[in-house]
Amino acid sequence: MSEVIKITDYSWKYINTKTPAVESINLTVEEGAFIGIIGPNGSGKTTLAYSMDGLIPGQYNGIKKGTVEVFGKEVEEYDRGELQKLVGVVFSDPEAQFTAMTVEDELVFGMENIGLSVPEIQERLDWVTELTDLKNLLEKPPYEISGGQKQRVALAAVLAMMPKILILDEPTSMLDPISRMRIFDVLAKLKKEKNSTIIVIEHSLENLIPLADRMVMMSDGELVLEDETQAFFQKTGFLFEKGAFPPGLIQFFYELNQRNLYNGDYPLTVAEASLKLNEMIKKGK
Amino acid sequence: MNKTLLGYVPEKSLIYAVHPFVKLFFLLVVSLFPMFVSAPDWNIILMLVIVLLMWVSRVNMSTLKIYIPVAISMGTIILISYTVLGGTHPEFELVAKVWGVNIYWERIRDAIIVYFRVLPMIFTMVFFLSTSRERDIIVSMRSVRIPFVVTYITAMALRAAGMVLEDFQIVRQAEQARGFDPVGKSIAYKIRQYVMYMVPLFALSLRRSEEFTNALVARGYAFTGEATKVKRADYILTHYSYKYFDYIFIFLVSVSFIALLVLRYGYGYFSVDQSWLIDLLRNALSVRGG
């Protein structure tokens, strides 16, 4: 697997702030990886995401130290529009990112920007509307559809540009559980069928954990923990300490562990937890 | 039903068969008609034609009721401006003297002419907005090769107007949820309190602008529309094509406009002297004034 993003000793301080938003970040993302980033509000997750898409330093004033390389090239070295072909970002508030009058216009806007021809746009539009189940909404104004549909439009608009790396900044923060699941279903399909590199910043971990290959924990602007998903959640005590709360089932097995009733890997899904509990019952624990 | 800028029009309306540019062309050209027509009779006929077009397009005619107060207040303002505030003109024909103010026939006539010039223009605009979506405006502009930057700024302005209204509603509801109740208060109080809405609305607008800019940059937008130095395809235009009847409409509207100019300036038609409505009114007022 080749490295697609390499962040080395990276710090960013917004102008007129006293402390850096992110500091001394070292992170490598490999091609096809699914990375989950968690951390409390104000821990620097969004700043990190914007840094990987070139929005920082492009759109913001501040002081940068270290390097952020995408496909071996510093983000500032890319021409306008070139980096956006490689890295797509979905923001947390879908409505704020709508720039067009109909869902269809919204979906084709990015494709037109990167210079695709009409047949290419048509082909990608068919693919992305099928993937995100938006075929019936193409004629509708994007601000008149439901919250879940809006976020699927925002995701589809970025997917249609077929970026090699997809970054989602709290994509489900405004959604109900079913809409959340539908977004993660789309991400699961992308991971399976397209082997896309996906980075998701998310507070709701139930849907994220089954898909994530690696997890990253941010706290006070620093990357405090990074590991494979299973190993990451084995450090649940540390996560608690840093203000992150793993899903209830991990907390439950952590509690059992603290009472010396369990000492194996914490299950990451309900199915795994059910199996482990069965085993424990059989063993008479 | 399809949502238009001023309401809803059934999906099966004939108006959707027409190319968006034809609608814009109709608006721009037909709005000029009343400027060359002094006789109110012809402008009333134009209004009736536009109402007929609305009916054919299946626009919900009951929505027209909301414009009645606007039409009445506008007419009243024009009439007062021309008559009560029209000044003293000894050379004009005096119709009445109301509380020491001279009311002249010429000023009443001019007020009526102006009123029936403005009214068809408003009807034409209402017809356009009732049958067009935001996308139609953009498509019609792009179809005549107006630069992408201009059409996109227009689209963003339309979008921003909607967002500001939404934000205003949110701020207002938030104020009401915290007990703010302007009902029964004086206008001065209400105006003062409206300033209170402006502060959060302004802050929200700044945040929206930042998010909007980020969204544009993240999707490779450049002001020129050519972020990657390649020609930009206009996918949306592929959904629209001119049909034979579009050309017929454009031809008819153009010929009507040319004919209007020729008749007006070549043969003196549409002048106020040829208006039977003005004659009728003059006779009526002369009897009363006599």
DSSP class per residue in A232-255: HHHTHHHHHHTT----HHHHHHHH
Cα-based distances in Å from A16 to A9, A61, A63, A64, B211: 22, 9, 10, 14, 20
User: Which two tokens mark A127?
Assistant: 């693919």
* Cβ-nearest to A110 among B159, B220, B222: B220
Contacts of A112 in chain B (CB under 8 A): 225, 232-235
Nearest to A81 by CA among A106, A53, A119: A53
Probe site for chain A from B133, B219, B239 (most A CB atoms < 10 A) = B219
Contact B206/A at CB under 8 A: no
More confident residue, B290 or A82: A82
Contact A62/B at CB under 8 A: no
CB A200 within 8 A of CB A35: yes
Q: How far is B218 from chain A (nearest CA, A)?
A: 6
Cα-based distances in Å from B73 to A11, A142, B46, B83, B181: 63, 37, 21, 15, 29
Contact B174/A at CB under 8 A: no
Q: How many Cα atoms sit within 13 Å of A26 on the Cβ side?
A: 2
* Cβ-nearest to A113 among B2, B227, B238: B227
More confident residue, B47 or A279: B47
**CB atoms B218 and A122 under 8 Å:** no
Q: What is the pLDDT, as a whole number, of residue B61?
A: 84
In the predicted model, is pLDDT for residue B288 greater than 70? no
- Determine phi and psi for B220, rounding to 5 degrees: 70, 20
Q: What is the pLDDT, as a whole number, of residue B227?
A: 53
CB B107 within 8 A of CB B83: yes
CB A196 within 8 A of CB A166: yes
Contact B211/A at CB under 8 A: yes
Distance in angstroms (rounded) separating the CA atoms of residues A263 and A280: 11
* pTM for the model: 0.78
Contact A76/B at CB under 8 A: no
Contact B164/A at CB under 8 A: no
Contact B166/A at CB under 8 A: yes
pLDDT digits (tens, 9 = 90+) for A185-240: 888 988 888 878 999 998 888 889 999 999 999 999 999 999 999 999 999 999 98
Mean pLDDT value across residues A159-179: 86
CB A23 within 8 A of CB A221: yes
pLDDT digits (tens, 9 = 90+) for B130-154: 888 888 888 999 888 888 888 888 8
Q: What is the pLDDT, as a whole number, of residue B223?
A: 62
CB A118 within 8 A of CB A195: no
CA-based angle B166:B157:B144, to the nearest 5? 140
Q: What is the pLDDT, as a whole number, of residue B289?
A: 44
pLDDT digits (tens, 9 = 90+) for A48-94: 999 999 888 888 999 999 999 999 999 999 887 788 889 999 888 88
Mean pLDDT value across residues B267-288: 85
**CB atoms B218 and A84 under 8 Å:** yes
In the predicted model, is pLDDT for residue B224 greater than 70? no
* Cβ-nearest to A105 among B135, B231, B238: B135
Using CA of residue A259, residue A263, residue A266, residue A271, what is the dihedral sign?
A: negative
Q: What is the pLDDT, as a whole number, of residue B290?
A: 39
Does residue A10 sit in helix, strand or coil?
strand
Contacts of A153 in chain B (CB under 8 A): none
